[in-house]
Amino acid sequence: MKIFIIGSNSFMGSSLINYIQRSNNANFKLFGCSRGIENYKYFNLYRNKKNQDFKFYRIDLNKNINKLIKILKIIKPNIIFNFAAQSIVEYSWKKPADWFNTNLISNIQLIEYLKNVDYLDKYIHSSTPEVYGSTNKKISENYNYNPSTPYATSKASIDMLLKNYYENYSFPVVFTRASNIYGPGQRLYKIIPKTIISIMKNKKIPLHGKGLSKRSFIYSDDVSDAMLKVMKKSKNGEIYHITNEKMYSIKEVVGMICQVMDKNFVDHVIIEDERPGKDFIYDLSGKKIKSLGWKSKTSIEKGILETKKWIDDNFISLKEVKLKYDHLK
């Protein structure tokens, strides 16, 4: 089986490649593309593997979608995972056109080609719970969209278009929406690794809106396992939420990390204003993904320890990495 991963250098793309390689499944031939080569191998865990069966192509979807199409014509993958996206919510307010170019326009060109091919069995599109907006209800997979940021609106737009293509062309799309993913290899501007390394560097962690917004946090290996279940067992046109049932506030998660590292919470946080369009809570129903035989295995306590171990092992290099997102157009 040929698997092509678009956005292979993203956190979830590289985590999935690493997870598949660790499974030693000889039936999978892996290919992937991203717009750049990650300068720090510690963020792309699959680069640490020897004799890896993975072919990488450097492609910027915004600038050279035709190059990707040419490669797909040659490889003819059975499965495509698409993790490529501009995904930092707060920056989408500053450069909304860039978010729409990546998350919508480049995808339109790609699926216009893919809708006519005969080799594609499944196109697994990584969406986001942000499309639902903030709600105090349990969110089922058919919940109405109510995006509150340019990022969320760009993702809702491509989701709706892909649904159109499924209904009109039988395009074999499957949607996944994962709650807050974390784990080894995650960029340091995300809350869990940022908190760990900030404490190690004796820097304060900003808590926007007092850290009261709530999320379900899920470990990257558990998400990779869910992605493979979706690949093997899902129905085309369906949406699958990848989530834990337990919800934590950002403040609670930072508190857990402080406790693990034997640090005083008050000494390591600073309260800041809430960001525009910030969704307070989205509580996803995971009923449908469980019907595929999946459940999360990693507690947040264990996941935090595994993430801290990754940072400990690579601290000499990681301490030089910026803790803020650098936007590349």
Same domain, 116 and 196: no
User: Is the pLDDT score of 26 beyond 90?
Assistant: no
Q: How confident is the model over 117-123, as a mean pLDDT?
A: 98
User: Pick the residue with more confidence: 27 or 287?
Assistant: 287
Residues 223, 227: Cα–Cα separation, whole Å: 6
Q: Given this model, what pLDDT does residue 285 score?
A: 92
The pTM (predicted TM-score) of the whole model is 0.93
Same domain, 196 and 232: no
Q: Are residues 64 and 76 in the same domain?
A: yes
Tell me, yes or no, whether 140 and 204 share the same domain.
no
* 142 and 170 together in one domain: yes
Q: Is residue 291 part of a domain?
A: no
44-48, 209-213, 322-326 — most confident range: 209-213
- Is 292 within a domain? no
Q: What CATH number should be reported for the domain holding residue 266?
A: 3.90.25.10
Q: What is the mean pLDDT of residues 123-130?
A: 95
Is 154 found in the same domain as 24? yes
Please tell me which of 14-23, 40-49, 299-308 the model is most confident about, judged by mean pLDDT: 299-308
Handedness of CA 75, 80, 83, 84 (dihedral sign): positive
pLDDT band (50, 70, 90) for residue 10: very high
pLDDT by residue (tens digit) across 148-195?
888 999 999 999 999 999 999 999 999 999 999 999 999 999 999 999
Is residue 307 scored above 90 in pLDDT? yes
pLDDT computed for residue 224 by the predictor: 97
Band of pLDDT at residue 17, cut at 50, 70 and 90: very high
Residues 11 and 102 reside in one and the same domain: yes
CA 50 to chain centre: 25
Which residues have CB under 8 Å from 272's CB, separation 6+? 206, 207, 208, 209
**Residue 79 and residue 25 share a domain:** yes
Task: Report if residue 91 sits inside a domain.
Answer: yes
**Regarding predicted confidence, which is higher, 12 or 88?**
12
- Tens of pLDDT, residue by residue over 255-283, are 999 999 999 998 888 887 766 655 567 78
* Start-to-end Cα distance in the chain: 34
Per-residue pLDDT, 111: 97
Cβ 93 vs Cβ 149: under 8 Å: yes
Give yes or no: residues 68 and 205 share one domain. no
Share of the chain above pLDDT 90, in %: 67
CATH of the domain at 149: 3.40.50.720
Whole-number pLDDT of residue 42: 80
The CA dihedral of 294, 297, 299, 300, to the nearest 10 degrees, is: -60
Assigned domain for 289 exists: no
- Overall domain count for the chain: 2
Note whether residue 324 is domain-resident: no
Residue 11 covered by a domain = yes
For residue 93, pLDDT beyond 60: yes
pLDDT digit string, tens, across residues 29-86? 999 999 877 656 788 877 666 546 789 999 999 999 999 999 999 999 999 999 998 8
What is the phi/psi pair of residue 72, to 5°?
Answer: -65, -35
Amino acid at 282: Y
Number of neighbours of residue 43 by Cβ within 10 angstroms: 20
The pLDDT assigned to 184 comes to: 96
Cβ-Cβ contacts under 8 Å for 151 (sequence gap 6 or more): 86, 87, 88, 89, 92, 99, 103, 128, 130
| Residue 323 belongs to some domain of the structure | no
CA pair distance 80, 68, nearest whole angstrom: 12
pLDDT, tens digit (0-9, with 9 covering 90-100), for 286-296: 999 999 999 99
Domain extent for 152: 2-181+218-242
Q: Give me the residue label for tokens 């996803």.
A: 284
Angle at 233 between CA 232 and CA 238, to 5 degrees: 115
Cα separation, 131 vs 121, whole angstroms:
26
Query: Are residues 139 and 194 located together in one domain of the fold?
Result: no
Check whether residue 211 and residue 238 sit in a common domain: no
Residue 32 domain flag: yes
- Same domain, yes or no, for 156 and 254? no
Q: How confident is the model at residue 92 (pLDDT cuts 50, 70, 90)?
A: confident
Structure tokens at 74: 């040659």
DSSP per-residue letters across 91-129 = GGGT-HHHHHIIIIIHHHHHHHHHTT-SS-SEEEEE--G
